[in-house]
Structure 1
Amino acid sequence: MPRRRLLLIALSLLILVPGVLGYLWRTPQPAAPVLPPHSYAKALRQAHDGQPGAARVLYQQLQRSDLPPIRRAALYAELPSYPSPQALKLARQDLEHDDPIVRRAAINSIARLLPAAQRSLVLGPLLEDDEQSVRFAIVDALLGLDPDDIGLYFGPLQEALEQYQQTLEQQPDDAAAQVHLARLYMHEQAYAQASAALERSLALAPEGLDALATQVRLLERQGQHDASRQVLAKALALRPDSAFLQYQLGLWLSRHEQHEYALLALSRAVELEPDNSDYRYTLAVTLHRLEQVQAAQQQLETLLNRQPANRRARVLLIQYWKETGQLQNVQILLAELEQQNPDDPVLQQGL
């Protein structure tokens, strides 16, 4: 072999061998931690069931960047049960998410996390969002706020509200859309337009419960209280075992200061649909209003046994236990809350 070729081979080995040995002897770097495939479903179930550590695992999932939008959006349905500065930070970040479904889910979550006075400051800028459905979600989140709470966003909100109404007007064959349209018109006290929208909805679905409930509220807004009662009475005569209608009757009676009779209707609604948290919560509030405090506490205890993650019921029961001086029960509820979410604002108040 020629001398020149031997020199080239030797030189190549001098260059390659140190690199190969360095690769073989290098200290391996730890791989980035990967969450197991089941961690999402496990975390979602843990949050939904109010298990210890629920807030922590929920926040961890929202910090992931590899979740499909539909899964990410599902997490926001649970987030309002675990309020904290971290929860709000995560939700605010997703107001800029690329997918509208995630932005809408974050909007709905923030609307439940923040009091009215702060809501428009966080959500108002999205009235300029490029996606129409996102702008309409902001309208739903801000509707009903006082003009002072809406502040600088009053003009953009009215513009988006008008666009929302125009879009729903173009869906005359959608019963649910017409009910929503009626509610938007009621907000503006445009009662004739609201009534027309409800008539369209009921023509499409004569037994539509949402439409019937909205019709009751519309008649009340116009001072037609007897007519509103008759709408409920007629519907209940046809479906006396409807938990929804019994609940609506209870609400109507409460609005008209007939709390003793409301109690009967609300109790019937809970009997017909015992797992409905709204029905049982309202029953507890009505019992407390009638100074049946122990019975109210029992209803909230039942609700928490069925739904440990129901923070609204937990906070109210803490208040009721405090009123009766049963501080040991308060401590138990606070300890459970701390296990779920150690950063919950209620914990800062203590006993």
Structure 2
Amino acid sequence: MPRPRTYLFAGLALLLLAGLGSLALQKAPPAPNPALQHSYVKALAQAHNGLPGAARVLYQQLGRDDLSAIRRASLYAELPNYPSPQALKLASQDLHNDDPLVRRAALEAIAAMVPANQRSLLLGPLLDDEDDSVRFAAVDALAGLSPDDIGLYFAPWQNVLDQYQLALQTRSDDVQDQVHLARLYLQERDFPAAASALDQALKLEPENLEAIATRVRLLDSQGQGEGSRAVLAEALQRYPDSALLQYELGQWLLRHQQDEYALLAFSRAVELEPDNSDYRYTLAVSLHSLDQLQVAQKQLETLLARQPANRKARVLLIEYWKESGQLQNVQILLAQLEQQNPDDPLVQQGL
């Protein structure tokens, strides 16, 4: 081959390789910035642990547009502890996110931040979402509200609820789905349908404690107090160290006006699962209802020592300190809350 032609083909080959390389660089996703990667991890830990400045860094991360869906959803799991107009704005924007995972996470955060009677205006439109899981999450978020609270969205909610229940019925081999289906029916007071779903759940897993606890509630809702007590007693005999069953016993005793005995059951549940914030919070409320204010405060202090970001516990402890006239302790708790989130409505309200 003549030398000039050799040079020509060599030049064309180099140009082709350069073009392919350029195209590859254009298509490849940008390498993550190590500083941003670190700031995300640090911000998530800061929010989870309730450290000073937590709300600010959490909002900053949610303002980014380069996070994966799972990372963005993880941020929303922390957001309910840091409510503010900015938090609500960020979550409301992500109700329109392209990824259903993010939409569900934002929906659940809003449901946790916004009072029940105000949720439907924000979450009602998601009953028309293109993704089943988002529509069904909206049903769960509005479940238990009165028709008046759901307002204009009651008919769409009822329609999607029917779809949701039908979908759960088709997953008859999933225990958790059947328990959830039973609870949805129980909220509607459709007792035969709830019993059928529980029968299926217990057929699949006879010792499923969630299903047993739901059966106790179902029987009690039907006025079968003795039947529900017998089911619970039998389960506790088999699993005396189940925190879930002890907690369910406490709830049963409350429903039957045996508050002092309920206190013992809640105490036992906390003893078995000391890190369960719901159990300890309920114990504090029960102690307060029996005029044991100081002990209730101690339980909430313990909860906050374990979970400093737990705003629900902090707000209740502030109320209890106000009740006992300990305004210095109120100021300390408010100052800590202000360090976490200066835009918190409680901080803005002050003493």
State whether structure 2 residue 304 is matched by structure 1 residue 304.
yes
Shift of 1:344: 0.6
What does residue 130 of structure 2 align with? 130
2:36 aligned counterpart, secondary structure: coil
Amino acid at match of 1:327: L
Q: Where do 1:92-241 residues align within 5 Å?
A: 92-241=92-241
CA–CA distance in structure 1, aligned partners of residues 257 and 230 of structure 2 = 18
CA–CA distance in structure 2, aligned partners of residues 292 and 186 of structure 1 = 34
CA–CA distance in structure 2, aligned partners of residues 129 and 310 of structure 1 = 31
Task: Please give the TM-score of this superposition, normalised by the length of structure 1.
Answer: 0.89
1:223 aligned counterpart, secondary structure: coil
Shift of 1:35: 4.6
CA–CA distance in structure 2, aligned partners of residues 38 and 148 of structure 1 = 46
State whether structure 2 residue 47 is matched by structure 1 residue 47.
yes
Shift of 1:36: 2.9
After superposition, the C-alpha distances for 1:276-301 in whole angstroms (9 at most, x for unaligned) are: 11111111111111101100000101
Amino acid at match of 1:275: D
1:37 aligned counterpart, secondary structure: helix
Q: CA RMSD in A?
A: 1.1
What does residue 348 of structure 1 align with? 348
Matched residues, percent identical? 70
Amino acid at match of 1:108: E
2:64 aligned counterpart, secondary structure: coil
Structure 2 runs not aligned, ≥5 long: 1-32
Task: Please give the TM-score of this superposition, normalised by the length of structure 2.
Answer: 0.89
CA–CA distance in structure 2, aligned partners of residues 189 and 326 of structure 1 = 44
Amino acid at match of 1:67: L
State whether structure 2 residue 270 is matched by structure 1 residue 247.
no
Shift of 1:205: 1.0
CA–CA distance in structure 1, aligned partners of residues 200 and 156 of structure 2 = 29
Shift of 1:70: 0.5
Shift of 1:221: 1.1
CA–CA distance in structure 1, aligned partners of residues 144 and 272 of structure 2 = 31
After superposition, the C-alpha distances for 1:87-111 in whole angstroms (9 at most, x for unaligned) are: 0000000000000000001111110
Amino acid at match of 1:185: Y
Structure 1 runs not aligned, ≥5 long: 1-32
After superposition, the C-alpha distances for 1:11-54 in whole angstroms (9 at most, x for unaligned) are: xxxxxxxxxxxxxxxxxxxxxx9853211111111000000000
Shift of 1:220: 1.2
Please say which structure displays the higher CA radius of gyration: 1
CA–CA distance in structure 1, aligned partners of residues 345 and 190 of structure 2 = 40
CA–CA distance in structure 1, aligned partners of residues 34 and 341 of structure 2 = 24
The number of aligned residues is 319
After superposition, the C-alpha distances for 1:287-345 in whole angstroms (9 at most, x for unaligned) are: 11110110000010111111100101100000000011000000000000000000111
